[in-house]
Amino acid sequence: MILIENVSLSYRDVPILRGIDLALPKGGITALVGPNGAGKSSLLSLVARLQPLQTGCISVDGMPVDTTPSRTLAQRLAILRQDGIVASRLTVRELIGFGRFPHHQGRPGALDLALVDAALDQFDLAALSDRFIDTLSGGQRQRALVAMTFCQGTDYLLLDEPLNNLDMFHARQLMRSLRRIADEAARTAIIVLHDINQAAAYADRIVAMRDGRVIVDGPPAAVLTEENMEAVFGYRIRIEQIAGKPFLMHHL
Amino acid sequence: MADRRLLLLLTLALLSVLFFMLAGLRGNIAFVLGLRGLKLLALLQVALSIAVSTVLFQTVTANRILTPSIMGLDALYVFGQTALVFLLGGLGYASLNGGFKFGMEIVLMVALAMALLWPMLKLRMDMGLMLLMGVTLGILFRSLQALLARMLDPNAFAVVQGASFANFNALRTDLTLLGAIMTLVAVAFCWRARHRLDVIALGRDAATGLGVHWTRSAAGLLLLVSILVAVSTALVGPVAFFGLLVVALAERVVKTQRHAVLLPAAVLVAITVLVGGQAVLQHALGGASTLGVVIEFVGGLVFLILLVQGARK
């Protein structure tokens, strides 16, 4: 369980998060939605200890993120950042292999190598495995980064806009993979999503944020109402029911 | 493939060492070998510390063009030498206890490096801002040094000149043993961290996500860098472009940035260039030029080529 208590964050006196309280139990997919600048990415990077906490506390399975050894956390929690910049020149296989680093500390065993191969297959990257990351298209690079995050094999996955640059086929495939690990392996995914219909179709819970606050929180059917969406996004969105799921006509 | 290339580099390095030790051997052979051996030891140590420190520095700063000298470390060294001559006079400077002076130089340079880095680590200061600080401090020390040099008498100025340029002929062999121990300890730490270095090269956020304590690792590595630079500068004087030259060459030969390969490759290239170059200048060209000048010239060219290549990308 990830417990976020009274977390606020400001950057040069500009408030980014204001008193967030959230409890995310183990298992299932939680989608964070909201307009640009709502604080979704900041919240994820605080949970993943990429930024120091200013106020409040965050714990993962009872371990406070600011004092627990980084390696222990890396075995429980993996994060995919929005700006997937890779500083060094690596092949796809090498990059995905780094996902196993928290477990083997530089000496990969047979299990680690097998998991890397499985991730290559799962994300359609086997044919690209010896290509250098800087020669890939944006979508292919995004898939390699997602594969690396999956490969870390953690109970909690924090994904910041994982569908960036992905085509429809691979976006659907990624969401289905997440659904599968949530259902079969009881792993937990927390995803920042801009495509709200993906959230409606795959998430168990939607947390809608605006201006550093949680506006609504609950199962998709309860959150995705015209009133709530107007409060979050600032305009009226028509919502239809298609195949038993709410479908937002957000582009009209 | 990388292993075979590493073997090739090893052969080249061994050949340069053999050439350095055996070329033009005559007279009292035991005496000559002893003298050359001591000099070789100092050269090896300089090659090791500059190659390793440059690789570490480039990994931590995620920049393939920077070298530790950009942090103003060599400028501080020259300033320190000038200040000593200014305070003690040429004769007083020459009669200083070598070991004591060496120790003080190293402590001072490590202290400066940490003073530069501490704010960055505490305030999560931007790496670019910190490097700008390093460049600015470098200018400050160079200007102070120039001011002091103007106020010196010509004899003392000649002493300063001797101390402020890289000199591979007048090595401080008296300090070799102390320096060798420090270098080996520092290099052993780097070798143990080679897998962690690969992860650190991914960048701060990715490394943190993979369980590396970034602040602690970066501080430790930069401390190692400053110790290595201090040792090599105290031994031969400042060399700005040597590290850049050997790491760029090594990277192109082994074609990987994995530290388990890159670190030894850079060290072997450094040995080949330094020991081989010194031997060629001494025996084939009759000491026509000083190695420091040649290395800085070639290294400067490589620096420009890297800049142009980077701009084209």
Domains of chain B: 2-307 (1.10.3470.10)
Which of A72, A80, A98, A152 best tests the B interface by mutation, with the highest count of B CBs <10 A? A98
Q: Which residues in chain B are closer than 8 Å to A78, comparing Cβ atoms?
A: 209
Which of B208, B251, B259, B261 best tests the A interface by mutation, with the highest count of A CBs <10 A? B208
Of B205, B211, B212, the CB nearest to A81: B205
Instruction: Band the pLDDT of A6: cuts 50, 70, 90.
Output: very high
Residue B168 has pLDDT above 70, yes or no: no
Q: Helices B73-94 and B98-123 sit at what angle, rounded to 10 degrees? A: 160
Verify whether the Cβ–Cβ distance B213 to A69 is below 8 Å: yes
Task: Kindly state whether residue A56 falls inside one of the protein's structural domains.
Answer: yes
Which residues are CB-neighbours of A124 under 8 A, at least 6 positions away? A143, A170, A173
Count of other CB atoms within 10 angstroms of residue B17 = 18
pLDDT value at residue B82: 84
Count of other CB atoms within 10 angstroms of residue B278 = 23
Q: For the stretch B224-241, what's the b/e string if a residue is b when 16 or more beta carbons lie within 10 angstroms of its beta carbon? A: bbbbbbbbbbbbbbbbbb
| Cβ burial, residue B215 (10 Å; 0-12/13-18/19+) | middle
Chain B residue nearest residue A158, CA to CA: B209
Coil vs helix vs strand at B201:
coil
Based on the domain organization, do A20 and A52 belong to the same domain? yes
Instruction: Band the pLDDT of B165: cuts 50, 70, 90.
Output: low
Residue A35 has pLDDT above 90, yes or no: yes
What's the whole-number mean pLDDT along residues B48-66? 85
The total of structural domains in chain A comes to 2
Nearest to B56 by CA among B154, B210, B179, B194: B194
Task: Kindly state whether residue A54 falls inside one of the protein's structural domains.
Answer: yes
Tell me the percentage of chain A whose pLDDT exceeds 70: 98
Helices of type H across A87-239:
92-97, 101-104, 110-122, 138-151, 168-184, 196-202, 220-223, 226-233
Query: What mean pLDDT is reported for chain A?
Result: 90
Based on the domain organization, do A14 and A62 belong to the same domain? yes
Q: Which residues in chain A are closer than 8 Å to B213, comparing Cβ atoms?
A: 69-71
Q: Residue A89 is part of which domain span?
A: 77-153
Query: Does the beta carbon of B210 lie under 8 angstroms from any beta carbon of chain A?
Result: yes
What's the whole-number mean pLDDT along residues B30-45? 85
Amino acid at residue number B112: L
Which CATH number covers residue A196?
3.40.50.300
Q: How many CA atoms lie within 13 A of B141 on its CB side?
A: 24
Of A85, A88, A98, the CB nearest to B210: A98
Q: If interface means Cβ-Cβ distance under 8 Å, which residues of chain A face chain B? A: 45, 48-50, 52, 69-75, 78-79, 81, 85-90, 94, 98-99, 101-102, 105-107, 152
Which of A77, A88, A154 best tests the B interface by mutation, with the highest count of B CBs <10 A? A88
- B51/B34 Cα distance (integer angstroms): 26
Based on the domain organization, do A82 and A149 belong to the same domain? yes
pLDDT value at residue A160: 92
Verify whether the Cβ–Cβ distance A74 to B210 is below 8 Å: yes
Based on the domain organization, do A137 and A223 belong to the same domain? no
Verify whether the Cβ–Cβ distance A86 to B202 is below 8 Å: yes
Query: Does the beta carbon of B208 lie under 8 angstroms from any beta carbon of chain A?
Result: yes
What's the whole-number mean pLDDT along residues A182-200? 91
Q: Helices B154-164 and B127-150 sit at what angle, rounded to 10 degrees? A: 150
Instruction: Band the pLDDT of B309: cuts 50, 70, 90.
Output: confident
Q: Which residues in chain A are closer than 8 Å to B202, comparing Cβ atoms?
A: 86-88, 98
Tell which wins on pLDDT, B84 or B163: B84
Query: C-alpha angle B257/B219/B212, rounded to 5°?
Result: 60
Based on the domain organization, do A194 and A228 belong to the same domain? yes
Based on the domain organization, do A106 and A211 belong to the same domain? no
Task: Kindly state whether residue A39 falls inside one of the protein's structural domains.
Answer: yes
For chains A and B, count residue pairs whose Cβ atoms are closer than 8 Å.
Answer: 66
- B91/B79 Cα distance (integer angstroms): 18
Task: Kindly state whether residue A85 falls inside one of the protein's structural domains.
Answer: yes
Task: Kindly state whether residue A173 falls inside one of the protein's structural domains.
Answer: no
Based on the domain organization, do A57 and A109 belong to the same domain? no
Residue A64 has pLDDT above 90, yes or no: yes
Q: Which residues in chain B are closer than 8 Å to A107, comparing Cβ atoms?
A: 195
Of B202, B208, B210, the CB nearest to A88: B202
Based on the domain organization, do A147 and A163 belong to the same domain? no
Query: Does the beta carbon of B211 lie under 8 angstroms from any beta carbon of chain A?
Result: yes
ipTM of the complex: 0.86
For B218-266, the pLDDT digits (tens) are 888 888 888 888 788 777 777 767 888 889 889 888 888 889 999 999 9
Query: Does the beta carbon of B201 lie under 8 angstroms from any beta carbon of chain A?
Result: yes
pLDDT value at residue B13: 92
Verify whether the Cβ–Cβ distance A87 to B198 is below 8 Å: no
Tell which wins on pLDDT, B90 or A236: A236
**Distance of residue B10 Cα from the nearest chain A Cα, in angstroms:** 24
What's the whole-number mean pLDDT along residues B73-98? 77
Based on the domain organization, do A252 and A160 belong to the same domain? yes
Task: Kindly state whether residue A172 falls inside one of the protein's structural domains.
Answer: no
Based on the domain organization, do A65 and A162 belong to the same domain? yes
**Distance of residue B313 Cα from the nearest chain A Cα, in angstroms:** 11
Residue A44 has pLDDT above 70, yes or no: yes
Query: Does the beta carbon of B196 lie under 8 angstroms from any beta carbon of chain A?
Result: yes
Query: Does the beta carbon of B94 lie under 8 angstroms from any beta carbon of chain A?
Result: no
Based on the domain organization, do A64 and A143 belong to the same domain? no
Determine which helix (DSSP H) or strand (DSSP E) holds A3, and give its type and residue range: strand A2-11
Under a CB-based contact definition with an 8 Å cutoff, are residues A188 and A165 in contact?
A: no
Query: Does the beta carbon of B202 lie under 8 angstroms from any beta carbon of chain A?
Result: yes
pLDDT value at residue B234: 76
Count of other CB atoms within 10 angstroms of residue B302 = 17
- A51/B104 Cα distance (integer angstroms): 38
pLDDT value at residue B23: 81
Task: Kindly state whether residue A144 falls inside one of the protein's structural domains.
Answer: yes
For A78-136, the pLDDT digits (tens) are 999 887 667 667 889 999 999 999 998 888 889 999 999 998 988 889 999 999 888 88
Verify whether the Cβ–Cβ distance B209 to A101 is below 8 Å: no
Verify whether the Cβ–Cβ distance B199 to A45 is below 8 Å: no
Amino acid at residue number B256: T
Coil vs helix vs strand at A243:
coil
Coil vs helix vs strand at A10:
strand
Task: Kindly state whether residue A6 falls inside one of the protein's structural domains.
Answer: yes
**Distance of residue A244 Cα from the nearest chain B Cα, in angstroms:** 38
Of B62, B124, B258, the CB nearest to A87: B62
Coil vs helix vs strand at A64:
strand
Based on the domain organization, do A105 and A40 belong to the same domain? no
Q: Which residues in chain A are closer than 8 Å to B126, comparing Cβ atoms?
A: none
- B265/B249 Cα distance (integer angstroms): 9
